[in-house]
Chains A and B, each alone.
Chain A
């Protein structure tokens, strides 16, 4: 055995307890979602289903209104991503490129908005949206999510902007391009990857949010996916875990794949947030 192979074996061995605990829920979800209902409530439970059964997924969309919940979640997450990008892009550009009075104060302010959690303000948030007549309005969540996830978007974008050499824009000005034109033609295209990654993070955060959605969307047909799934346990006299596990699988796996593909960029955003 080479040294690296030996070290690899040791590392995997050391990590194995944690990896098992992390993966255990996925095994549970998969195993349960593919079973018939009566198979779960058997006296002798097993890991593998008798046969692969996809009826839970059909039931979920056909009779439980889960498609609607996914659409609500999609609407909110897309909206929140767009709104938070719309306010974070200029702010990040200013932090990276322009002289702005009170830059330091603005940075501290952003950090403070990140340290306040929405759940502590939940009573006030409810009142705010009640005043605005936006209880049971998906747009309330669009704005709420974008406000709470905006600071992270600013940090991520700024860390990207800082890596783009100023010379490129300056060269464009020399060639007679206006500031706006050089921003659109030179700067923006170079930042697209950073903007894409930032959007994905905002999207995932918004998609996963629970407490605000639970509180502000009080009507069943407006619930987001996480809230809807949690409700499935409470409303039935007998909890149908097979349906619920199918729902969690649908709502988590795509997002987990997206997240896994962009996780290495997380460290950039964290580093500007003052963590690193």
Chain B
């Protein structure tokens, strides 16, 4: 789209051949980055699609064309259906919880108060740490026998001595969702802080002059002005959380009894534990389509905002 649009100024000034030639030479600057990502990202996309419609043995050798057979196998697998349902819960709960917590946190962090930069640093801290490490430490924190969560709760006089948090699927999944929320907060707060600083102070001043209370300026100015940032935060978080792998993989490995499996852990197990590379590829393609849908939605939203801003 953007390529074909020419501004009147450009159209009235025809480009000379030499100039177009130089512009084409400038492609050299972006070529290495395109080649690198086409190889590392583009080729695997092609491979996944090819395997999804092929009969592949466990050593990765393609034995023939399978058509939609792998997709049928995927849809007939009750664990796939269960994982899809759990993915939905996981994504909605993590993204919803993240946004609900991140809004007030961002609003507080946007206030002028003593020690604000320290508070910001602590809030953003989980971003700096590998998800794998975070998951591992939390797995120990909630350990029934030696974990520090039960230690702290017991010290507070609560009856949680030796409570095995990861033993049942419901409780394990809840813990994982909470950890998922914790690690998604930094990114989301950063987006909201960007949104809050873009709201002109004059709006609040005018509202205050008209006698608006702090609550009114929050609900009538701040929240409506944050709306576009909210939409973007939701879509980006859905994209990231939907295929977030390390937390569940390290804390419960999808167990007990597949009770915490989501699509990505399902794919990983199919491929690298059961050697069903074709089924894994078919499930990957399905995930990829969902991601593509959200990506298009995101592109559409940012374009729309860009157009509105011009």
Contacts and interface: CB of A to CB of B under 8 A. Distances in A.
Contacts of B298: 115
B212 interface: no
Interface string B281-307: 100100110010011001100100010
Interface in B151-207: 151-152, 182, 185, 190-191, 193-195, 198
B271 A123 contact: yes
Interface stretch (A49-57, A85-93, A189-197): A85-93
A74 interface: no
Contacts of B149: 24
A264 B74 CA distance: 45
Contacts of B47: 123-124, 127-128
Given A15-B123, A31-B148, A270-B191, A226 B133 contact: yes
Interface string A110-133: 111101110111111111101000
Interface in B1-48: 1-3, 22-24, 26-30, 32-34, 36-37, 39-41, 43-48
Interface in A223-276: 226-227, 229-230, 233, 241, 244-245, 248, 251-252, 255-256, 258-260, 263, 266-267, 270-271, 274-276
A14 B108 contact: yes
Interface centre among B22, B48, B104, B130 (most CB of A within 10 A): B130
Contacts of A86: 32
A100 B41 contact: no
A27 B51 CA distance: 46
B97 to A, nearest CB: 12
Given A120-B291, A229-B136, A230-B250, A14 B243 contact: no
B113 A4 contact: yes
Interface of A: 4-5, 7-8, 11-12, 14-15, 18-19, 21-25, 27-29, 31-32, 40-41, 45-47, 83, 86-88, 90-91, 93-95, 98-106, 108-113, 115-117, 119-128, 130, 143-144, 146-148, 150-151, 154, 204, 207-211, 215, 226-227, 229-230, 233, 241, 244-245, 248, 251-252, 255-256, 258-260, 263, 266-267, 270-271, 274-276
Q: Interface of chain A, helix or strand or loop or mixed?
A: helix
A148 B41 contact: yes
Contacts of A143: 36, 39-40
Contacts of A122: 267-268, 271, 284
B125 A123 contact: no
A120 B284 contact: yes
B239 interface: yes
B33 A150 contact: yes
Contact of A22 (B34, B123, B130, B190): B123
A111 B23 contact: no
The 10 closest A-B pairs by CB, nearest first: A124-B44, A104-B2, A259-B128, A147-B40, A208-B130, A94-B29, A124-B47, A210-B132, A8-B113, A8-B114
Interface residues of B, number: 102
8 contacts: A4-B114, A103-B3, A122-B267, A130-B60, A150-B36, A248-B133, A259-B125, A275-B232
Contact of A211 (B119, B152, B245, B277): B245
Contacts of A31: 148
A80 to B, nearest CB: 11
Interface centre among B138, B193, B194, B267 (most CB of A within 10 A): B194
Contacts of A94: 26, 29-30
Nearest to B236: A275
Contact of A108 (B114, B125, B182, B299): B299
Contacts of B27: 100-102
B85 interface: no
A226 B73 CA distance: 34
A116 to B, nearest CB: 6
Contact of B133 (A28, A128, A251, A274): A251
Nearest to B139: A233
A117 B43 contact: no
Nearest to B278: A123
A70 to B, nearest CB: 13
Interface of B: 1-3, 22-24, 26-30, 32-34, 36-37, 39-41, 43-48, 51, 60, 101, 104-105, 108-109, 111-116, 119-134, 136-141, 143, 145-146, 148-149, 151-152, 182, 185, 190-191, 193-195, 198, 229, 232, 236, 239-240, 243, 245-246, 250, 264, 267-268, 271-272, 277, 280-281, 284, 287-288, 291, 294-295, 298-299, 302, 306
Given A41-B146, A45-B151, A128 B130 contact: no
Contacts of A256: 125, 128-129
A120 B111 contact: no
Nearest to A208: B130
Contacts of B126: 22
Contacts of B287: 120
Given A7-B111, A256-B128, 9 more contacts: A8-B113, A18-B105, A29-B137, A102-B3, A150-B33, A226-B130, A230-B136, A244-B136, A260-B125
Contact of B245 (A108, A128, A210, A263): A210
